[in-house]
Amino acid sequence: MAESFSKKENFKKKIQKQKEKAMRREERKESNDKGKDLSDMIMYVDAYGQLTSTPPDKSKNTDIDINSIRLGAAPIEAEDPVKSGVITFLSEKGYGFITQGNSQDTIFFHTNNCTEMVKKGNKVSYEVEKSPKGLVAVNIKVEK
């Protein structure tokens, strides 16, 4: 039986795919990374944190005192328990908010925790305590 045109084209495509596959196989064999020397695979980190293939210069190394290295977490510095701020809101119902001087954080307070009468805009000093609903200012005194 005679071969049709489509059979001939399919056969040509099949042979072309085999040739391409053989070429890819040869390329993989030529660019094989396996079996390289260890020195070819090593990378170094320079003083700026960049990877380089050349080893660092030993003359530029600086000695670091081992005792100057602090291990573990940094110690927590004790904050001053007395903070200062300005009363930005005061309700007739007896509560208000104090804005801290160094940030825009607000802290709730109740007039029962005030040692003196306070007004909106007064500069006050206070201590912070935790309550079930969050931070609360206590021992509120007007600064002069």
Whole-angstrom CA distances from 87 to 37, 102, 128 are: 72, 14, 15
Could you give the CA distance from residue 126 to residue 118 in angstroms, rounded to a whole number?
Answer: 12
Helix, strand, coil shares of the chain, percent, nearest 5, are 25, 30, 45
Confidence of residue 60 (pLDDT cuts 50, 70, 90): confident
pLDDT of residue 1: 61
* 3-state DSSP assignment of residue 90: strand
Q: Residue 75: how many CA atoms within 13 Å on its side-chain side?
A: 4
Q: What is the pLDDT of residues 73-126, one digit of tens each?
A: 888 887 778 888 998 888 889 899 999 877 888 999 999 988 888 889 889 999
What value does the mean pLDDT of the chain take? 87
What pLDDT score was predicted for residue 75? 82
Domain spans of the chain?
Answer: 82-142
Maximum mean pLDDT: which of 11-15, 75-79, 125-129, 140-144: 11-15
Of 99, 96, 135, 131, which is closest to residue 117 (Cα–Cα)?
Answer: 96
Architecture of domain 82-142: Beta Barrel (2.40)
- Distance between CA 138 and CA 125 in Å, rounded? 9
